[in-house]
Amino acid sequence: MSPVNTHRIPPRRCTLLAAGVLLLRLGECALGTGLAWGAHSDPTHEWDFHAMLQPVPATAKFSDPDFNIWCGSAIKGDDGKFHLFYSRWPRKLGHLAWVTHSEIAHAVSDSPFGPWKHRDIALPARVANFWDGSCTHNPTVIRFGGKFYLYYTGNYGDGVVGKSLNWTHRNHQRIGVAVADSPNGPWTRFDKPLVDTTPGFHDALCCNNPSVAARPDGGVLMVYKAVGDKGKLPFGGPVVHCVATSDSPTGPFKKHPNPIFVKEGVHFAAEDPFIWRGADRYWAVVKDNAGHFTQCGYSLALWESPDGLDWKLAKHPLVTTPEVTWADGRRQKLTALERPQILFDNNTPIALFCAAAETKDRDGSFNIQIPLSKP
C-alpha cells in the first residue's frame, strides 16, 4: 500500500470549523443516475468538496417519529423520481438495536432534497436460518446496465437488545446484493453472502459496509470494512478496509491482500467508505474516526487512487466536521455525521447524503441531504 499522504489542514481552517463559522460542506461520492455503473466524469482533478457544501433546506432532513434512521443511498429512477434506500429500526429499542432489528426501507421524492415519503421495505427480515435472516443494513444502490443492484450488510442471531452491542449479530455480519429491474422492486436476494469471511485474512471475524464502482476495463471493484480476529473478542480487530474485484456485479469476488485507509499503530482508524470512479482514478469519502487523516478530529476525509488498490489522501482531504448550516441560517453541531454517499445527476454531484444524530445516544437519528454547488 502507498504511504499515507502527510498533507495537513491548516490549523486555522479547523479552528473556524470548530467555531461554526464556516458552512457545512461535505464531499462527493457517487451514486449513478443514468450513468454506467458508478462511473462519472470529473470536471476537476482536485475535488474540494468542503468548498462545495451549501445550506440545507428543512425538507432535506428525513426522519420518522417511530424509527431511528441510518445510512441513506439514493438513485434517480426512470420514473423521474428519486429513490432513497435507508436503514431503520424501532426507535423505542434504542440505537444499539441497529445490529439486531435494522431493515432496509425505501422512500421516494420528486426532489433529491425531499420531502421524502416512505413507500415500502425493500429488504425485510426473513427466517433466521438465512445469513441475513435477522437484519439488513448499510444499503448502497447502483444501476448497472438495465438492472439495479442493492448492496448491503446482513446478519442473524437471537434478536436480543441489551445495554451493550449484541456481538453475536455483529460478528455474523456478511455482505450481500439484491437485484431488481426497478428501484420499486421486487428485489431478488441470494441464499449465500456475496462476500464472506476468510480464515486468516483481514476479514476473518466479519465484513460489512460495502461500496462498489465500475472498473474501466470492465467488471466491478468493491471496498468494504473488514474485522480481523487478532484482537480481544468479541470486538476482535484490527478494523481495516479491503478491496475485492469481480467480472460481474453479482460476483464471485477476488480479495486483494493489502488493507487500505490505515494508520500505523491505530487499531480502528476509519470506516463508512463510499467510492466512485472518475475520469482517470477512483475517489472515496471515508469517515475519519479521530482526525488521523484530516487533523480535524472526527470528520470525513477524501482519498484518491489510480487503480483502486493503492490509496492516498487527496489534495483537499477535509470534507467536513460534524456541522451543518440550515437554509434559515442556523448553524448546528451534530454528534454524528456518517455513512456518506453522493448523488450524481447528469454527471454532476448534486447532493451528499449522510446519517446524522443530534444527541449522544443517537435517539431520533435521521438522514440528511446536503446540496452541493458546482465545482
| pLDDT tens per residue across span 263-291 | 999 999 999 999 999 989 999 999 999 99
- The answer to whether the beta carbons of residues 318 and 13 sit under 8 Å apart is yes
Instruction: Look at residue 184 and tell me whether its pLDDT is greater than 80.
Output: yes
What is the DSSP annotation of 263-303?
A: -TT-SB-EEEEEEEE-SSSEEEEEEESSSTTTSSSSEEEEE
Beta bridge partners of 331: 325
**Is the alpha carbon torsion for 62, 66, 70, 74 positive or negative?**
negative
| pLDDT tens per residue across span 200-231 | 999 999 999 999 999 999 999 999 999 999 99
| pLDDT tens per residue across span 304-320 | 999 999 999 999 999 99
| pLDDT tens per residue across span 341-357 | 999 887 788 999 999 99
How is residue 92 written as a grid cell? 423505542
Q: What is the pTM of this model?
A: 0.90
Across 104-132, average pLDDT: 96
Cell 446478519 locates to 155
Beta bridge partners of 104: 87, 123
- Please count the residues of the chain: 375
Q: What is the arrangement of strands in the sheet containing 348-357, beginning at the earlier edge strand? A: 61-62, 366-371, 348-357, 336-345
**Listed residue (26, 25, 6, 10) closest to 272, CA to CA:** 26
Fold classification of 11-371 is Tachylectin-2; Chain A (2.115.10)
Across 8-35, average pLDDT: 35
Across 62-81, average pLDDT: 97
- Domain borders along the chain are 11-371
What is the DSSP annotation of 198-210?
A: -TTSTTSSEEEEE
Q: What is the DSSP letter of 173?
A: -
CA atoms of 278 and 345, how far apart (whole Å): 14
Across 170-191, average pLDDT: 98
State percent of the chain over pLDDT 90: 83
CA atoms of 172 and 236, how far apart (whole Å): 13
